């Protein structure tokens, strides 16, 4: 299936395990970076909250402008929703960000070149589709693609008519249902469309269509060119951005006070002071109200935080003793008449010559994983794979499972637009409070939400804003 934006890249894992109780070995930890140049210093020009891409980008830019900057990070590692795991025999697997989504003009492409990093392209049109235990033909795949495109065109026409009449927003699923009600479909045709919708929309936006706005779900923009992943892991980008930075790990922020005399940021260990602060907290953390702001955030900002959605997309990597799937394909799709769970898999053998598959689950299916044991997750995944490839395929010898919503430092994967919200809510969240409190992160990027490049550009945006004062 084709892609407008491939955005399965902002994940955070809270647990990882295997069919042998794997213990993760994580990159970008405190003992591997030259951090805390002067750990006793507590007063700065700017405090940055969060050592994800947005925070790292902002601090890097401010340091170039000769500002004194500290980054406060609650985790014991940098990267935020970039996290490279090497527990599978040293193979770099990204639990968080995976792809550069469109290489042309993308700032992450420039960083990869600057840091001399090797990338590998993924062609999401190169798909092997399976249904009822057999591989579908290219003609079948083209027919499903055409049916999906026709459906979306009809939904877009219906959306335009509703907006012209001044009707209120509804969910994307309600809009789809209205169109499908006028179109008799067989059970198999409905399953095929459900698979396509899941792969093209739900796995992209980390939300069920029932939780996306019909009017605004696709208001974002993107870059052209290939979609590429990092053979050595996305953590290399975070490590490159962190060089020379003053980063305080395990510094969980509890309170931010701001006023005419500057800002103070209280962690669970000490208090830092500065002229200004850049907040790069994930939307899920802002929605939870885990940090106290004094004075409270302005009402328009609080309302936008409440309206925007924090989606969930969980990953499961499975390592097998040998490859049993077609090695020439990039994506494996499995069409089920029951639901879209485990409907899409990435063939990592093509990238790293290792017998590894990556499966996705989003929305309600991703939430289901949060409450299951790793053994149960693997069993459910294997049932789908055996329905496609037969009962004789081997059991996996290793697995890594992510649980995004359970991670207290992210509380979800990345932002989305539910019914009633609009792209303007991203702008409202991005707006500074006077000349003291500034906001960055993917949920502050109206054009590029839910992306690494959106987070990076937002960090640079706020650094430039501060430097211009």
Per-residue pLDDT of the chain (469 residues; tens, 9 = 90+): 333 333 433 333 333 333 333 323 334 444 344 444 567 789 999 999 999 999 999 999 999 999 999 999 999 999 999 999 999 889 999 998 899 999 999 999 999 999 999 999 999 999 999 999 999 999 999 999 999 999 999 999 999 999 999 999 999 999 999 999 998 999 999 999 999 999 999 999 999 999 999 999 999 999 999 999 999 999 999 999 999 999 999 999 999 999 999 999 999 999 999 999 999 999 999 999 999 999 999 999 999 999 999 999 999 999 999 999 999 999 999 998 777 789 999 999 999 999 999 999 999 999 999 999 999 999 999 999 999 999 999 999 999 999 999 999 999 999 999 999 999 999 999 999 999 999 999 999 999 999 999 999 999 999 999 999 9
**Dihedral through CA 258, CA 259, CA 260, CA 264, nearest 10?**
-30
Domains of the chain: 30-85+230-310+408-467 (3.50.50.60), 121-222+312-401 (3.90.660.10)
Predicted local distance difference test score (pLDDT) of residue 37: 56
């Amino acid at each position: 299936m084709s892609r407008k934006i491939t955005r399965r890249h902002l994940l955070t894992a809270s647990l990882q395990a295997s069919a042998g109780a794997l213990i993760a070995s994580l990159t970008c930890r405190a003992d591997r970076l030259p951090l805390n140049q002067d750990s006793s210093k507590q007063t700065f020009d700017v405090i940055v909250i969060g050592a994800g891409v947005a925070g790292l980008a902002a601090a890097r830019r401010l340091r170039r402008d000769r500002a004194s900057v500290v980054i406060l990070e609650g985790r014991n590692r940098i990267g935020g929703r970039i996290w490279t795991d090497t527990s599978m025999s040293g193979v770099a697997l990204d639990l968080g960000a995976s792809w550069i989504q469109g290489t042309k003009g993308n700032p992450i492409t420039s960083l990869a070149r600057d840091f001399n990093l090797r990338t590998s392209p993924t062609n999401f049109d190169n798909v092997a589709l399976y249904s009822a235990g057999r591989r579908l033909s290219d003609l079948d795949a083209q027919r499903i693609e055409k049916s999906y495109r026709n459906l979306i065109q009809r939904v877009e026409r219906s959306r335009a008519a509703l907006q012209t009449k001044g009707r209120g927003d509804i969910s994307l699923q309600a809009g789809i249902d209205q169109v499908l009600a006028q179109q008799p479909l067989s059970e198999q045709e409905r399953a095929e469309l459900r698979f396509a919708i899941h792969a093209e929309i739900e796995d992209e936006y980390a939300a069920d269509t029932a939780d996306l706005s019909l009017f605004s779900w696709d208001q974002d923009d993107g870059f052209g060119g290939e979609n590429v992943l990092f053979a050595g892991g996305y953590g290399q980008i975070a490590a490159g951005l962190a060089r020379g930075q003053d980063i305080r790990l395990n510094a969980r922020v509890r309170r931010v006070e701001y006023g005419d005399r500057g800002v103070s940021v209280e962690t669970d260990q000490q208090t830092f002071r500065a002229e200004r602060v850049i907040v790069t907290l994930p939307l899920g953390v802002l929605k939870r109200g885990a940090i106290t702001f004094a004075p409270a955030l302005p009402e328009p900002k609080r309302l936008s935080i409440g309206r925007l959605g924090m989606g969930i997309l969980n990953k499961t990597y499975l390592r097998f003793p040998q490859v049993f799937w077609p090695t020439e394909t990039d994506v494996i799709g499995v069409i089920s008449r029951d639901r879209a769970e485990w409907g899409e898999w990435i063939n990592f053998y093509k990238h790293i010559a290792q017998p590894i598959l990556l499966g996705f689950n989003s929305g309600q299916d991703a939430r289901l994983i949060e409450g299951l044991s790793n053994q149960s997750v693997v069993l459910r995944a294997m049932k789908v794979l055996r329905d496609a490839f037969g009962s004789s395929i081997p059991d996996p010898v290793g697995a890594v499972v992510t649980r995004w919503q359970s991670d207290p430092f992210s509380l979800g994967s990345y932002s989305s637009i539910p019914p009633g919200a609009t792209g303007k809510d991203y702008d409202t969240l991005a707006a500074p409070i006077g000349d003291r409190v500034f906001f960055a992160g993917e949920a502050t990027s109206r054009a590029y939400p839910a992306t690494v490049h959106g987070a990076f550009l937002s960090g640079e945006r706020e650094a430039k804003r501060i430097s211009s004062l």
